[in-house]
Structure 1
Amino acid sequence: MKRWLRRRVDAAYERVLSREISGAPTHVAVIQDGNRRYARGKGADAPDGHRAGAKTTERVLEWCQDIGVEELTLYAFSTENFERPDEENEALFDLLETKLLEFADADRVHDNEVRIRALGEVERLPERVRRAVDYAEAQTRGYDRFVLNIALAYGGRSQLLEAVSGVADDVKAGALEPDEIAVETIENRLYDQPVRDVDLIIRTGGDERTSNFLPWHANGNEAAVFFCTPYWPEFSKTDFLRGIRTYEHREESWRRTRARRALALLGAISDPELVEARSVVERFRDSLPTAEQPTSEELAGLDADSSDGIDSSSQTAD
Structure 2
Amino acid sequence: MSQIPSIPGGDGAAAETRPAPALSPELVAALAKAGADGALRTLARPLYWLYERWLDRSLDRTVMPRHIGLILDGNRRFARRNGLDVRHGHQFGVRKLKTFLAWCLEFGVKHVTLFVFSTENFKRAPAEVQYLLDLFVRESAQLLDDLRLDTEKVRVKIIGQRDRLPPKVLAASDALELSTAAHKGTLLTIALAYGGREEIVDAVKGLLTEAAGKGASLASVAEALTAEQLSAHLYTAGQPDPDFIIRTSGEQRLSGFLLWQAAYSELYFCDALWPKFRRIDFLRALRDYQQRERRFGG
Structure 2 residue 53 is matched with structure 1 residue 15: yes
Residues 254 and 177 of structure 1: CA distance in aligned 2, closer, same or farther (over 3 Å): closer
Match of 2:269 among 217, 227, 250: 227
Contact 1:199/1:247 (<8 A) preserved: no
Whether 1:247 and 2:289 are equivalent positions in the alignment is yes
Structure 1 residues 177 and 91: alpha-carbon distance in aligned structure 2, compared to 1, 3 A threshold: closer
Unpaired runs of 5+ residues, structure 2, are 1-36
In the superposition, the TM-score normalised over structure 2's length comes to 0.80
Q: Which among 198, 203, 225 is matched to residue 242 of structure 2?
A: 198
Residue from 66, 73, 80 that aligns with 1:33:
73
Q: CA deviation at 1:133?
A: 0.5
If you compute each CA radius of gyration, which structure gives the higher value, 1 or 2? 2
Alpha-carbon distance in structure 2 between the residues aligned to 1:105 and 1:203: 28
Tell me which of 171, 192, 195 is aligned to 1:155: 195
Paired position in structure 1 for 2:112 = 72
Percent of pairs with identical residues: 37
Tell me which of the two structures has the higher relative contact order, counting C-alpha pairs closer than 8 angstroms and 6 or more residues apart: 2
**How far apart are the structure 1 equivalents of 2:272 and 2:96?**
12
Q: CA deviation at 1:13?
A: 1.8
| Cα shift at 1:216 | 1.5
Quick one: which amino acid aligns to residue 288 of structure 2? T
Check conservation: 1:171, 1:178, Cα contact below 8 A: no
Q: Which runs of 5+ in 1 are unaligned?
A: 259-318
d(CA) in 2 for partners of 1:169, 1:225? 34
* 1:130 matches 2:174: no
CA RMSD of aligned residues (A): 2.0
Which stretch has the larger CA shift, 103-112 or 23-32? 103-112
Note the C-alpha offset of 1:193. 5.0
- Pairwise CA distance, 1:177: 4.4
Deviations 1:242-297 (A, max 9, x none): 111222122x3649x97xxxxxxxxxxxxxxxxxxxxxxxxxxxxxxxxxxxxxxx
Task: Tell me the SS of whatever aligns to 2:183.
Answer: coil
AA of the residue aligned to 1:10: Y
Q: Which one is further off, 150-159 or 116-125?
A: 116-125
Alignment partner of 1:209 is 2:232: no
Q: How many residues align?
A: 254
Structure 2 residue 158 is matched with structure 1 residue 98: no
Q: Which letter maps to 2:226?
A: A
CA-CA distance at 1:170 after TM superposition: 4.7
Separation of aligned partners in 2, 1:194 and 1:105: 27
